[in-house]
């Protein structure tokens, strides 16, 4: 019997892969890619509306935490524990989560997030925060997430860190990333 993944019309000697069927149960809360983009834009606009430079730095730290959650699927505690000097590699566009040297898991980040991080790392306003850029209070971060949710017309349940993590997993699965890769 022929492998189902190879069934399909041939073209130039190549076979087409059958599409995977993937659905999310109705009781699972998540944001789709467009909603995540809207939320990202809300964080950027909020950061840009800062009335003073120190407020802008504070808001940008929360925005970067959101972007880390959004693009890595990490737990909030993992992101808040990051040492931006040791755990982020802008050359390989990767972040090591959940451990020190030789431990943890390495996760790729998009170039856009790498550029945002590079700009912060080069900005003298953040110099005293280097190494602890992501070290903020969980309650404060959650409150700021809920405020951005309200701006976008989302409920708190849709913008908590756990839902953002789940949203990333759903997004990856919709892009045919294998489940074991998503789980890691």
Beta bridge partners of 96: 106
Whole-number Å distance between alpha carbons of 10 and 13: 6
Cα-based angle 76, 77, 82 (whole degrees, multiple of 5):
100
Q: pLDDT tens-digit profile of 16-66?
A: 454 556 666 666 687 788 888 999 999 999 999 999 999 999 999 999 999
Put simply, whether the predicted model's pTM sits higher than 0.85 gets the answer: no
DSSP H or E segment with residue 6: none
């Amino acid at each position: 019997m022929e492998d189902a993944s190879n069934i399909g019309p041939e073209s130039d000697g190549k076979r087409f892969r059958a599409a995977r069927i993937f659905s999310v149960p109705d009781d699972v809360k998540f944001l789709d890619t467009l909603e995540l983009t809207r939320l990202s834009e809300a964080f950027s606009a909020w950061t840009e509306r800062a009335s003073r430079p120190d407020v802008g730095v504070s808001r940008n730290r929360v925005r970067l935490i959101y972007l880390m959650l959004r693009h890595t699927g990490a737990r909030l505690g993992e992101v808040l524990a990051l040492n931006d000097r040791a755990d982020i590699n802008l050359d390989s566009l990767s972040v090591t989560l959940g451990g020190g040297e030789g431990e943890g898991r390495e996760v790729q980040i998009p170039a856009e997030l790498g550029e945002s991080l590079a700009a912060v790392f080069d900005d003298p306003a953040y110099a005293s925060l280097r190494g602890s850029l992501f070290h903020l209070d969980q309650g404060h971060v959650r409150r700021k997430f809920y405020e951005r949710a309200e701006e976008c017309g989302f409920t708190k349940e849709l913008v908590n860190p756990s839902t953002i993590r789940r949203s990333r997993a759903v997004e990856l699965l919709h892009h045919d990333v294998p489940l074991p890769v998503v789980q890691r």
